Amino acid sequence: MSICSMTCCAVVMCAALAGPMLAQDTTVTLEEKTPLVVSGFAVGTGTYDRNLAQNGATASKIGLSLFRPWSDQLYLFAQLTTHVAQHDTSPVHTHIEIDNLIINWTPAHLSALSLSFGRFDAPIGFERDDEPLNLVPTTSFTFESARPAKFTGLMARYTLNPKISVLGVVANGWDREIDNNSGKTAGLKLQTFPSSGLAVAAGAFYGPEQDSTNGSPRTLLTGDATWQPMQRLILQAEAHRGSEAGTHWTAVVGQAFWRAGRSTGLTVRGETLDDTDGFATGTSQTLRSLTISPWYFYREAQEGVFSNVEFTDFRLPAFSIRPALRIDHSSQPVFETKGGTLKQSNLTALVELVFVF
């Protein structure tokens, strides 16, 4: 008898003997393990700066996300991001950071409450620091200078009814991974859904932000709205009023996205940042910007954090090419030129490639 035949016989005999034994025991069930979902995105850019007469191409960012549900009440979401960075006069370098690290818990007998601990996007405005979640390939002056992008701490959300929810935050401070003083930044935000396709929110954030002192706390009053009046059109806006130690700044940014066809779209964004005291940007000025970005995109991304624009049914594409023309203007000469002088305006042309996996 061949080895193969002997093996087959052995398997049959073992199955025959095991059958009665299993029948005498209780029902055997295999525990289902919750899956680990891996997703992410990659970004490449090409830019031209008119004032600097400079152009270049960069493989600029890659983000890797992990999602693990432990139960219906508990899950973990984490994201590592690697991007090419340059700060002031420092050389170009690759920077790796924990972009998100969220442990989310929903009490079993209080499903209206959701608690998130870790590092997460500040629940402010519609702009985010992950390119796939934005409808324009550049971030606004408002996002960069007028309000926080990230918080590290605790966030609680309570749904009062299908149209109203309340959100509270206690965190280290504006974009602080490690606290720089002994105080905390706290915030409260009211989110409403007055009608189908419309989301409107208002909030206030308060706390000390300066190094090694709790004096001169910073206040930010904020509001934002997302409206999708029809499937092809998305309108978004956010406004902020900040103050600290007698200084004030005001920022307003709005954009419209029109899906022209199955694989094409157009985004137009405009903004104004009034920084009269020079606190937000370092210069007493009023900044204005206009960005126009046509899109070409292909297929839809998979389910997950990079699946759709928040509060809309627009599915993020798996691959997109997003050229853009950005015109910036300031009331003061702040834009550097190739010759080392400063101008009040600048023009930037760029193209961004985004791949979501």
Specify burial of residue 145 (Cβ count, 10 A radius: 0-12, 13-18, 19+): middle
- Using the CB atoms, write b or e for 298-318: b if 16+ within 10 Å: eeebeebbbebbebbebebbb
The pLDDT, as a whole number, for residue 85 is 76
Other Cβ atoms closer than 10 A to 49? 18
Cα–Cα dist 7/28, whole Å: 26
pTM for this model (two decimals): 0.88
pLDDT at position 306 is 76
Q: In angstroms, what CA-CA distances link 167 with 155, 164, 201, 204?
A: 7, 10, 10, 11
Nearest to 68 by CA among 29, 97, 101, 113: 101
**Strands in the chain per DSSP E:** 37-49, 54-69, 74-85, 93-105, 113-121, 150-161, 164-171, 185-195, 198-207, 218-230, 233-244, 247-258, 264-275, 285-300, 317-330, 335-336, 342-343, 345-356
Q: What is the pLDDT of residue 301?
A: 83
Confidence at residue 87, expressed as pLDDT on a 0 to 100 scale:
64
Cα-based distances in Å from 91 to 7, 12, 94, 207:
65, 69, 10, 34
Q: What is the pLDDT of residues 64-109, one digit of tens each?
A: 999 999 999 999 999 999 988 766 666 777 889 999 999 999 999 9
Of 191, 192, 217, 193, which Cα lies nearest the Cα of 205? 217
Give the pLDDT of residue 94.
86
Task: Give me the pLDDT at residue 19, please.
Answer: 42
Rg over CA atoms, the chain: 25
Read off the tokens for 338.
Answer: 């190739």
Q: What's the CA gap between 26 and 24, in Å, rounded?
A: 7
Q: Which of 131, 129, 178, 134 is nearest to 153 (CA)?
A: 178
Q: Do 296 and 11 touch, CB atoms closer than 8 A?
A: no
pLDDT of residue 10: 37
What are the φ and ψ backbone dihedral angles of 63, each rounded to 5 degrees?
Answer: -120, 135
Spatial separation of the C-alpha atoms in residues 176 and 239, rounded to whole Å: 22
Distance, CA of 285 to CA of 328 (rounded, Å): 13
- According to DSSP, residue 20 is labeled H
DSSP three-state, residue 286: strand
Alpha carbons 153 and 186: distance in angstroms, whole number: 10
pLDDT tens, residue order, the chain (357 aa): 443 443 333 333 333 334 443 344 444 444 456 789 999 999 999 999 999 999 999 988 999 999 999 999 999 999 999 988 766 666 777 889 999 999 999 999 999 999 999 999 999 999 999 999 999 999 999 999 999 999 999 999 999 999 999 999 999 999 999 999 999 999 999 999 999 999 999 999 999 999 999 999 999 999 999 999 999 999 999 999 999 999 999 999 999 999 999 999 999 999 999 999 999 999 999 999 999 999 999 998 877 677 889 999 999 999 999 999 999 999 999 999 999 999 999 999 999 999 998
